[in-house]
Amino acid sequence: MTTQISIIDDYDSLLTSLSLQFQSQGYSTITFTCPQAALEHHANHPADAYIIDMKMPKMTGFEFYERLCQKLNRERVPALFLTAVHELEEQALKNTTIGDYVVKPFNFGVLIARLEKILSYFKPKDDGKTYRIGNLIMMEDKILCSWFGKEIELTKTEFNLLNQLARRPRVVYSRNQLLDVCYGDNLEVMDRNIDSHIKRLRKKFRKAYPKIKFDRIKTHYGTGYAWNPRSVAV
C-alpha cells in the first residue's frame, strides 16, 4: 500500500513542488492550505505522515498537531515541521518530542531523509510476532491489533480469523475454511459461528474509529469473506 503524506502549508507553490517531488519518490500526497480543512478531512481519513508548516493563518503548526492527535485519539502521529523563523521557535522544536523539523529553505533530500526516519520510528519491528499489513498492525504476543495507531483488543479466535483474511487480501475464504483456521478439527462448531465473529470484529473496528467507514471485511454472499485493502477511504 502506498504511503500517503499530508502536506499542510499556506503557500500553494510550495505545496505543488513538494507534492510532485514526493510523488516522484513513490509516495501519494494530499495537500491543504487551510489547517482547519485538513483537520476536518483527517478526522475521518488519517494519513500515514504529516508535513506541517509552523506559521499558518489562525493556527500554528503545534496547535494543528495537538488538535489532530485529539481528533484521532492518539498521543502521537508521524509529523515533520517546516520552519523559517527565529531561534526561539527552532529551540522549541529541538526540545519537543512530537516530531522532527527542517528549516526553510531546505534541500528535498534532507526533507525526505527526515521523513523516512520518522516513518521508520513509527513502523513496528517485524519479529514474527508483530507485523504490519497496510494500516493494520497485528501483535500476536498480545493478541491484539492496531488500526491507524489505535489498539483493538481481540479474542484468540478473532485474531486468527483477522490474521487469515488480512494476510491474503482479496482471497475469498469459505466459512468452512475459516472454521478450520479458528477451530481445527472441532466438529461441534457450526459454520455460522464465523458470521458472529465477523460481526464482532466489524463492531470493534467501528468503535475504534466511529467516523471512519469500515468495510475492509467484505462479505461474498453464498461464498464467504475476504479482506479488501482498498474498500475504505483513508
| Structure confidence at residue 127 (pLDDT) | 57
Tell me whether strands 144-147 and 150-153 are parallel, antiparallel or unpaired: antiparallel
The domain over range 130-227 is classified in CATH as 3.90.1640.30: no
| Structure confidence at residue 85 (pLDDT) | 65
* Per-domain boundaries in the chain: 4-122, 130-227
Query: Which phi and psi (to 5°) does residue 124 adopt?
Result: -70, 150
Check if the beta carbon of residue 15 is closer than 8 Å to that of residue 9: yes
Residue 46's closest CA among 10, 18, 77?
A: 77
Which of the 8 DSSP states describes residue 187? T
pTM (two decimals): 0.55
Q: Could you list the pLDDT tens digit for every one of the 234 residues in the chain?
A: 578 999 999 989 999 999 999 998 888 999 999 999 999 999 888 998 999 998 888 888 889 998 998 888 777 888 999 887 654 455 555 545 456 788 888 888 888 888 888 887 776 555 557 887 777 888 888 888 988 778 899 999 999 999 999 888 888 898 888 888 888 766 566 767 899 999 999 999 988 877 777 888 999 998 899 998 754 333
The torsion region of residue 10 among left (phi > 0), alpha (psi -120 to 50) and beta comes to alpha
4-122: what fold?
A: Rossmann fold (3.40.50)
